[in-house]
Amino acid sequence: MTSQATFSTSQPRSLRGTVLLVAGISVSAFAATVGIAQEAAPQEPSPLETEQKESSVYPEAPATAPPATKVENSEPGPDGELKPYTESITGTTVTFAMTPIPEGTFLMGSPDDEADRKDWEGPQIPVKVSAFWMGTHEVRWNEYSVFMDSLDKRRRAKSEAEPEAQDAWADAVSRPTPPYVPMDFDMGTDGYPAISMTQFAAKQYTKWLSMKTGRFYRLPTEAEWEYAYRAGTQSAFYFDADAVNDNAWWFDNCDGQYQPPGKLTANAFGLYDMSGNVCEWCLDAFTQDGYQHLLVDGKVPTEPVLNPLNWPTELYPRVARGGHWDDDPDRLRAAARRGSNRSWKSQDPQLPKSIWYHTDAQWLGIRLVRPLNPPPFEEWHKYHDADIEEILVIQNRQRSGKR
């Protein structure tokens, strides 16, 4: 069985890379008194305030929302029907598919008698989820590398692509620093799922994509993810447990690495690889006591909770769902959860640790969500930007051209 660490993480059976050291230096100062009264020293600015004063190497984004590109079926039909559509990334030939998910209700979590159940999978809570589109497949390197390696900017610089109206917004989004090793860890890029990004990196990707298209993309909530996985089923898997090899890439059938999305059977909503292959980031904080925060006066609510989202307040742990290629079937269940932790960066000796890469989570990826009713543009940042100061400090330093 796969080994498990704190907060139910699992480590790959073989680690695939090393990274180089970049030293971090901290500076302290002291003041001495000389026996006479002195004026109080002015309060020093916080690290975040200091970094924010640095001039940015990124342009300033316009204050209004970016214009939406024209994509067939990307808006509801006259009767409100949602249809599948194919999104295009402007300035490239890269496309990806989005699948409509109807609104509905379900029981989130696992029943007490489910095999291999963990305490943090309950109690079961009735939940109502509003309609949204979800990525038909996991985000591939084909899409993610345009963001990560600034391929759109490079194409424009070489006159291989014409400027687009959305560039003013997209070019203002922070991009990852260059990695020290190939982040596919020799498992393949073309057609394969992108991996090993932090939740912050994943959210910045959804921000960049939102600016590139003018449509609001984000990570799924934990409730949206489980609802989409189940696709109307109530069992441990969305498929018969005896048919795991036909529906999920896991330790026994994956040939020791991730596989191209879409080769196995889709669920009833038409989503591929919801079980296995790579885990998928969610927006929520991971809670060891499960869904206790959704109880009402200590009891399971009688009415479905509408679109729950447990906003994180700390860097760790945060939720990833779905299981991965190095997992056993118990980790591929609909209700199975795992929480991020610092061990996902064990190979990264940088001080401070990278805000972009989880070098040891070589099975961690992204699936997109686009809600039918997005928040106003002024609130997009809540779903896209860094939410704790230690990330903001490093991000602002990098935006000023520093490492």
Per-residue pLDDT of the chain (403 residues; tens, 9 = 90+): 443 333 333 444 444 443 333 333 333 333 333 343 444 555 665 555 555 556 789 999 999 999 999 999 999 999 999 999 999 999 999 999 999 999 999 999 999 999 999 999 999 999 999 999 999 999 999 999 999 999 999 999 999 999 999 999 999 999 999 998 899 999 999 999 999 999 999 999 999 999 999 999 999 999 999 999 999 999 999 999 999 999 999 999 999 999 999 999 999 999 999 999 999 999 999 999 999 999 999 999 999 999 999 999 999 999 999 999 999 999 999 999 999 999 999 988 788 899 999 999 999 999 999 999 999 999 999 999 999 999 999 999 999 998 7
The answer to whether the beta carbons of residues 7 and 340 sit under 8 Å apart is: yes
Number of Cβ within a 10 Å radius of residue 195: 27
Does 49 reside within a domain? no
Q: Containing domain of residue 191, as a range?
A: 76-399
Does 7 reside within a domain? no
Q: Give which of 217, 114, 108 is closest to 173, Cα–Cα.
A: 217
The domain that holds 207 is classified in CATH as 3.90.1580.10
Please tell me the distance from the alpha carbon of residue 371 to that of residue 130, in angstroms, as a whole number.
8
Please tell me the distance from the alpha carbon of residue 256 to that of residue 226, in angstroms, as a whole number.
26
Does 308 reside within a domain? yes
Number of Cβ within a 10 Å radius of residue 386: 20
Fill in the DSSP letter of residue 160. Answer: S
**What length is written for the chain?**
403
Tokens of 180: 């020290």
Does 30 reside within a domain? no
Reduced to 3 states (helix: H, G, I; strand: E, B; else coil), residue 285 is: strand
Model confidence, pTM: 0.88
Does 138 reside within a domain? yes
Fill in the DSSP letter of residue 389. Answer: H
Does 21 reside within a domain? no
Q: How many domains does the chain have?
A: 1
Does 185 reside within a domain? yes
Does 252 reside within a domain? yes
DSSP string, 181-221: S-TTTTS--TTSBP--B-HHHHHHHHHHHHHHHSS--BPPP
Which amino acid type is present at position 330?
D
Fill in the DSSP letter of residue 241. Answer: G
